[in-house]
Amino acid sequence: MIVGKAIYHLLTNATAITDIVGTRIYPEVAQQDGDLPYIVYNITNNEPSDTKPEPSKLDTAGVEVNCYATSYSQAIDISVAVRGALDRVKGTYNGVNVQSIQYINEVIDFDEPQRAYNISADYEVRISRTDFEIAQGSPITGVELGQLSDVNVTGVTDNQILSYDAATDTWVPAADAGGPDVLDDLSDVDTGEPEDGQMLAYQQGTWTTIYQDEITLPIASVTGLQAALDAAPDNLRELTDVTISGLTDGDYLQYDSASGVWQNSSLILGRNGEQYTGNYDTEAGTLRSGATETVELYYTAQADGDGLSESASSDTPTSGYDIRRKLWYAEKAQADPDTSADWTQFTAIADNTTFNNAKAALLAYLKERTGGTVPISLKMTWEEVSQVSYLLDDYSGAAAAYSLRLLSSTYSGDAVEVYNGSSYADIGFDGSGELDTTALATHCGSNDGFVSKWYDQSGNSNDAAQGVTANMPKIYDGTTGVVTENGKPAVEFDGSDDQLTHNISGLVSGNFTYSDVFTSSDGAAILHSSTSTNTKWIMIAQTSTQTQLSDGFLTAYDNYFKNGTSALSVGATRTDLKNAFYNGNQNLAFYHGTTSSVSVSQMYLGRYQSSGFHFSGKLQESILWTSDQQTAGNRTNIEDNINTFYSIF
């Protein structure tokens, strides 16, 4: 039927439909085992629109459109898109003159065999035919309105409309028949007293005048409606000017003019009968606003009352910066925000944490009394800091990467696993991407802490580990605290038996680059070694007792840079290496080259593989690339990134 041609054209040319079902639009029946979602349409009836003896120029067809989808929401979206493509449409489509399409109704069902939702919608389609013929078979062409047997247009003038005259069973010019000649004469129109700019809108069966700002738009989709309903506040806590926490019976909302927020208060009275909550709001506001740094929230509590003042700064950082919020507590009431000795920082929170989330974390500390009981003061500070440039984001391809700072924005693991003499704990990074020394101190307390596993941040899971507790390098001292070098955390090797082993199964040597941040405390600086003979992925500075390791063994293929400056080249001896790097200072060693093809299965941090010599000193970072970063032109930028963080030279 020609109506099917028009329906297919309208459905396949509606992007709102094809964005969901693609080309899966089928007449009559879907493809066997076809993918969901899809549409099937069929013509349920097709008959002339009148019963007069003359040939009918209009056909009225019934069309059923079935929308199939695996989810109820998607089936609704398809049905809404179909109605948008068909309902109230007129025009010529695919050669078919569509006079009108009217949506009738729809039924929602679940198709158990297909495990799919089905929305079946019925439409009435009126098709204007131009090829009808009289009984003799001669086509009618050039027909005008006045030639129809039930139309009399005699004496018609401009702007007249036709009105049906029941007495004569004909359509005649409205003025001649006494019919309606203005809009307000029509039974379904109520124009009232229209004013400039008003329009007619259909409302509950009647066309009435409205202003433009009174227009209401139809809901685009059920999915959109649900999203809007979900976003709408449905309780006090979701309102932007209301802050509620720790409710108890009898609480009431009290307006804080300093912050412009309604907050809950309790009628808790002190010893002399005065109100407790909010008793020191004024003092809190003075301390917050008078601080040198930006203090977004200040809370203080003592025996006879508490006070709260807050003023949220932006949650959106300036381009190139991150927002860093810090949470602090002081073991005294009305503590001066500028007296740093009074304040202790809670565990750091992530950069760009919003004001509301940071505030919730701060109040959670108060609720759990992590910072002590009253008297107490809390503050939340705000600052913008330059965004961190992560080394491995810019220079990828590392085979193994160990550091006590975060090296990659995609790495979500921890820095090290630490043994405190009785238990193990993973220690991660704080909000600024540095080792979480607060968590480290909490885990170790008065005990020494040792690295049992140094996690690989390259994404290759080449973690360096040590299962023998006596051979684990130290990271925390139970008396002096975190082991550091130049103000940054470090892993300390004792030069006797400390070592970490990492497996790099199947790695074949070739072009390579190592970068290391370390301090050597005696003549031996053995940072890397492999179980494979003659591997070049190694750095050793000899002592006088290590003469059995022949000169030239380590540097036959290597070029060394120290603190950004060329230090050694191919052919240098181990003595040259020792003299270059053994000085008791923090060093950045960058060395690269090419090795012979040696299959490497296991490597060491802090030990020479065959003779058992061990590294004595502190190691803060070690990265291995299986490519020559010097030849690639990346050395200077890599060294700049490392030096910016560690301040070596």
Give, for 265, the enclosing helix (H) or strand (E): strand 261-265
CATH superfamily of 2-128: Phage tail protein-like (3.30.2000.10)
Strand 38-48 versus strand 25-27 pairing type = parallel
Enumerate residues 6+ apart whose C-beta is below 8 A from 132.
Answer: 55, 56, 57, 139, 140
Strands (E), 3-156: 25-27, 38-48, 58-69, 91-93, 96-111, 116-128
Task: Tell me what percent of the residues of the chain surpass a pLDDT of 90.
Answer: 35
pLDDT, position 11: 92
Helices marked H in 179-254: 222-231
Enumerate residues 6+ apart whose C-beta is below 8 A from 444.
Answer: 418, 420, 476, 478
Domain ranges of the chain: 2-128, 238-386, 402-494, 500-646
Q: How confident is the model at residue 130 (pLDDT cuts 50, 70, 90)?
A: low
Give, for 368, the enclosing helix (H) or strand (E): helix 355-368
DSSP codes joined into one string, 53-68: SSPPSEEEEEEEEEEE
Q: Are 132 and 55 in contact (CB under 8 A)?
A: yes
Buried b (16+ CB within 10 A) or exposed e, 302-312: beebbbbbbbb
CB-based burial of residue 574 (10 Å sphere; 0-12 exposed, 13-18 middle, 19+ buried)? buried
Whether the predicted pLDDT of 127 surpasses 70: yes
Q: Are 406 and 429 in contact (CB under 8 A)?
A: yes
DSSP-assigned beta bridge partners for residue 220:
none
Tokens of 403: 């550091």
Which one is predicted more confidently, 177 or 477? Answer: 477
Nearest CA-CA partner of 87 in 5, 186, 14: 14
Task: Tell me what percent of the residues of the chain surpass a pLDDT of 70.
Answer: 78
Amino acid at the residue 74: Q
Q: Which residue bears the tokens 């709001």?
A: 281
Give, for 86, the enclosing helix (H) or strand (E): helix 72-86
- How is residue 343 annotated by DSSP? E
φ and ψ of 587, to 5 deg? -125, 145
Nearest CA-CA partner of 123 in 175, 73, 83, 63: 63
Q: How confident is the model at residue 596 (pLDDT cuts 50, 70, 90)?
A: low
Give, for 454, the enclosing helix (H) or strand (E): strand 449-454
**157-166, 180-189, 440-449, 553-562 — most confident range:** 440-449
Distance CA 559, CA 561 (A): 7
CB-based burial of residue 477 (10 Å sphere; 0-12 exposed, 13-18 middle, 19+ buried)? middle
Tokens of 289: 């606003």
DSSP-assigned beta bridge partners for residue 275:
269
Q: How confident is the model at residue 544 (pLDDT cuts 50, 70, 90)?
A: very low
Across the range 265-270, mean pLDDT stands at 50
Output the average pLDDT for the chain. Answer: 80
pLDDT tens figures, 293-352: 999 999 998 888 889 999 999 999 998 788 999 999 998 999 999 999 999 887 778 888
Q: Are 517 and 648 in contact (CB under 8 A)?
A: yes
DSSP codes joined into one string, 514-527: EEEEEEESSS----
CA torsion angle for 80, 84, 86, 90 (degrees, to 10)?
Answer: 170
Whether the predicted pLDDT of 291 surpasses 80: yes
Distance CA 147, CA 516 (A): 99
pLDDT, position 134: 42
Whether the predicted pLDDT of 226 surpasses 70: no
Q: How confident is the model at residue 21 (pLDDT cuts 50, 70, 90)?
A: very high
pLDDT, position 551: 37
Calculate ∠ Cα 614-618-624, nearest 5°: 80
Whether the predicted pLDDT of 26 surpasses 50: yes
pLDDT, position 270: 43
**55-64, 365-374, 459-468 — most confident range:** 459-468
Beta-carbon neighbour count of residue 324 at 10 Å? 19
pLDDT, position 91: 86
Among the residue ranges 20-34, 175-189, 316-330, 415-429, the one predicted with the least confidence is: 175-189
Beta-carbon neighbour count of residue 217 at 10 Å? 5
Among the residue ranges 119-123, 252-256, 542-546, the one predicted with the least confidence is: 542-546
pLDDT, position 95: 82
Helices marked H in 189-257: 222-231
DSSP codes joined into one string, 557-616: SEEEEETTEEEE-TT--HHHHHHHH-SSSEEEEEEEEE----EEEEEEESB-TTT--B-E
pLDDT, position 296: 95
Distance CA 590, CA 396 (A): 16
CA torsion angle for 46, 49, 53, 54 (degrees, to 10)?
Answer: -100
Distance CA 475, CA 614 (A): 17
**52-66, 241-255, 532-546, 559-573 — most confident range:** 559-573
pLDDT, position 550: 38
Strand 116-128 versus strand 58-69 pairing type = antiparallel
